């Protein structure tokens, strides 16, 4: 089994945590990552877009003028698509964009993303992220001590929801705090640094076992 260095909030090494090779030391599977990302983005779509077809637009039941003898083109309804205020041809209709993803593919994608973060030294394991009060300045000091305060996007993964950490970090535009059970391929791929704890690491390994 591989191991990751555990640091404190000042960035000093305090120990190590053993991690599974099949989660944090795999060869990235690009195909699985791509499938998982496409499925995630598709599942975020609401699919509530809607346009009115000819049968949905009110009015237009009467023929606007007689078929022949007026010199104008024949028309059957003022709600036909070529009329202003008429129907829409082949417009979008409500639909479900959800995609099903095989569990093995999802696990392989998550493991690939985590392994890539470890390989690039962008995963930081901190012995504790607990705060005694809700204070953005204190949480920012932790990020500065770890050395990730200037990263464009920092993902903080906690073993369980922590109100003090969540409210302390919500004013920082480059920080996203999530519990382990909400981790997804999108947030792992888009973060520049992942901050977590040994407890969260073990929970994550159990979740994708």
Q: Give the pLDDT mean for 56-84.
A: 93
Q: How far lies 201's CA from each of 101, 147, 198, in Å?
A: 23, 20, 5
Selection from 96, 107, 84 nearest residue 35 by Cα: 107
In this prediction, residue 137 carries a pLDDT of 94
Write out the residue range of the structural domain in which residue 11 sits.
Answer: 2-45+99-207
Q: How confident is the model at residue 207 (pLDDT cuts 50, 70, 90)?
A: confident
5 vs 52: CA distance, rounded Å: 59
113 vs 122: CA distance, rounded Å: 11
Task: Write the CATH number for 105.
Answer: 3.40.1370.10
Does the pLDDT at position 1 exceed 80?
no
170 vs 176: CA distance, rounded Å: 8
| Same domain (yes/no): 189, 103 | yes
Looking at the structure of the chain, the number of domains it has is: 2
| Same domain (yes/no): 196, 126 | yes
| Same domain (yes/no): 133, 171 | yes
Q: How confident is the model at residue 63 (pLDDT cuts 50, 70, 90)?
A: very high
| Same domain (yes/no): 81, 184 | no
């Amino acid at each position: 089994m591989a191991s990751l260095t555990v640091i404190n909030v000042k960035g000093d090494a305090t120990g190590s945590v053993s991690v599974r090779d099949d989660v944090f030391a795999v060869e990235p599977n690009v195909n699985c990552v791509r499938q998982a990302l496409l499925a995630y983005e598709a599942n975020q779509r609401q699919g509530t877009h809607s346009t009115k077809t000819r049968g949905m637009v009110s009015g237009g039941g009467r023929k606007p003028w007689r078929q022949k003898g007026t010199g104008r083109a024949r028309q059957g309804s003022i709600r036909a698509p070529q009329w202003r205020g008429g129907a829409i041809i082949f417009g979008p209709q409500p639909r479900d964009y959800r995609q099903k993803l095989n569990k093995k593919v999802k696990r392989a994608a998550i493991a690939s993303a985590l392994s890539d973060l470890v390989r690039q030294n962008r995963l930081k394991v901190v012995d504790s992220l607990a705060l005694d009060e809700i204070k953005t300045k204190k949480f920012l000091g932790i990020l500065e001590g770890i050395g990730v305060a200037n990263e464009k996007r920092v993902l903080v993964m906690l073993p369980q929801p922590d109100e003090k950490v969540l409210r302390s970090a919500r004013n920082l535009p480059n920080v996203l705090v999530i519990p382990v059970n909400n981790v997804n391929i999108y947030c792992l791929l888009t973060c520049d640094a992942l901050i977590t704890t040994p407890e969260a690491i073990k929970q994550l390994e159990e979740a994708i076992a």
